[in-house]
Structures are given as C-alpha cells and as structure tokens.
C-alpha cells in the first residue's frame, strides 16, 4: 500500500528536513565551542554566554524552529490516513514548540544581547539566560520538551521497514529524551544524557530528508507516477 505525496510536500519536506539537520549540526558544533570556552564564556554547561556566544548559538536555533515545524507539516501530508492522528499530533506539538523558543531567542538576540554588550543590564536581570537558574532557561527546556514529544508522535506515524523504519527509530529515540531535557532544572546532571539530542535529532531530520528524497526520486523514475512513502 502506498500513500501519494504532492510535489509541494516532497520538495518542502526535503528542504525543511535538510535545513533542520544542518542548523542543528551548526548549533552542536558551536555549543561544543561554547563549553570549551572558545566563545568567551568560562566554559562548561553552567556558564552564562557572552553576547558573541548568544548571537552564534541562538541564530541557528531561531531558524531551526520554523524548519522543524515545516518538516512535521510535510510529514503529515505524506502519511496514510490511518496514521494521521499521530502526524497531526506531531505538527501540533511542533507548533507549540516554535513560539516558545522563537520568543526566547528573538528576545535574547534583539534585546538582551545588545544590552549585555553595552553593559546596560539594569532591569533585564530576569531575562538573562543563565543555565539551570533562569526563567528563560526553563522556557527553553519546555520548548525542547515539546519538540521531543513531537518527534515521538512523528515516529509512531511511520512504518517499521526500510528508510521509513530508520526514520521512525531516530524519531522515537529523540522523543525518549523528554525526561532528561525537561527535568534539568531539578537534576542538573541530566544535561549529559539530554546531550544525546546532538546525535538523535540531526539523524532523525536527515533520515526524513532521505525519505522525502526517495519519494521524489520515485516519481522521476516512474515518469510522473504517484510518489509515496511505503506503509507496510
């Protein structure tokens, strides 16, 4: 059984999933540089970022939000009706994640970081992003908790075999990071298992890009026949 996928969903799915993968990998590299103290902080996961660190870390993170949401929307278009409750839930949780992290990172980039750079910190103390001990850090891990739920739902929307099965496994693994991400405020050491996101999320997005690309190639090889995800 096959589920036809529109050309728009295939093309947008390839682009958005590849963008989400690329942006997450850029963030991972920069976060490692931040923890090593190369971006001006004192290093390690407990250190507050410098204005430079905020700009470099949060710009790809801000762009990741819409790329991820578009990927989940395209996935919803691609799965068969019997599984669309899962994919719709994935898109809904992705849509909940986006405004949380979007507001957080936009405020940091346009208001907090410029004031930190100029030394004008009076009155903005509650909005300074401090790991494990700030309002906006709590907002951040809530957002990424919702992303984890979204990938968990997306995994259940896919089949178990072939490229679909690989995408399903990576999505489910990323979803299983939910407790490690959301409970860091209570147990700070949970950041280390949560850091597996650096592997599971890019791999999940790459596997979805491949899945959409395979469907695109199937249409080309079939001379206009219906492209699809297989749904065993």
Q: Where are the domains of the chain?
A: 2-214
> 135-156 vs 51-78: helix axis angle to the nearest 10?
20
- As a whole number, mean pLDDT of residues 180-189 equals 95
Percent of the chain predicted with pLDDT > 90? 74
pLDDT value of residue 122: 87
If you ran DSSP here, which 8-state letter would residue 171 be given? H
- pLDDT category of residue 7 using cuts at 50, 70 and 90: confident
pLDDT at 175 over 80: yes
Q: Tell me which H or E stretch contains 203.
A: helix 197-221
Rounded Cα distance between 30 and 46, Å, is 16
pLDDT at 178 over 90: yes
pLDDT in tens, 40-70: 888 888 888 889 999 999 999 999 999 999 9
DSSP for 13-49, please give it: HHHHHHHHHHHHHHHHHHHHHHHTTTTSS-SSTTSPP
- For residue 84, give every residue at least 6 positions away whose Cβ sits within 8 Å of its Cβ, in sequence order, or none: 76, 157
């Amino acid at each position: 059984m096959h589920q036809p996928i529109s050309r728009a969903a295939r093309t947008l799915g390839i682009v958005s999933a590849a963008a989400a993968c690329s942006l997450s990998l850029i963030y991972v590299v920069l976060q490692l540089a931040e923890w090593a103290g190369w971006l001006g902080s004192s290093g390690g996961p407990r250190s507050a970022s410098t204005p430079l660190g905020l700009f470099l870390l949060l710009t790809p993170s801000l762009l990741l939000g819409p790329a991820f949401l578009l990927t989940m929307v395209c996935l919803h278009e691609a799965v068969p009706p019997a599984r669309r409750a899962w994919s719709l839930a994935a898109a809904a949780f992705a849509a909940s994640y986006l405004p949380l992290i979007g507001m957080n990172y936009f405020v940091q980039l346009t208001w907090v970081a410029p004031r930190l750079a100029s030394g004008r910190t009076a009155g903005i103390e509650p909005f300074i992003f401090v790991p494990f001990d700030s309002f906006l850090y709590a907002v951040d891990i809530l957002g990424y908790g919702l992303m984890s739920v979204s990938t968990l739902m997306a995994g259940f929307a896919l089949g178990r075999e072939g490229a679909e099965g690989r995408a399903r496994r990576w999505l489910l693994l990323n979803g299983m990071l939910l407790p490690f991400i959301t409970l860091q405020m209570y147990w700070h050491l949970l950041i280390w298992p949560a850091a597996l996101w650096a592997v599971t999320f890019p791999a999940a997005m790459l596997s979805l890009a491949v899945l959409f690309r395979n469907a695109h190639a199937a249409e080309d090889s079939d001379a206009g026949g219906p492209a699809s995800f297989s749904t065993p």
